[in-house]
Amino acid sequence: MLGGGQLGGFFAEAALRMGYKVAVWDPSETAPAKRFATHKFNTPF
């Protein structure tokens, strides 16, 4: 997903429960969705 804010974190958490892998692209290393991401990208948009 593009952006790893709080709503993205809810989405990523639910997706992981359903067996999906989640990639999060956000410039911030501490974006909330990255806690649940299987792949993380820290580059600017």
pLDDT averages per 10-residue partition of the chain, 45 residues: 97 98 97 97 93
pLDDT at 45: 87
- Give residue limits of the domains in the chain: 6-41
Q: What is the pTM of this model?
A: 0.86
d(CA 13, CA 43): 22
Residue type at position 13: E
Residue 31 CB neighbours (<10 A): 20
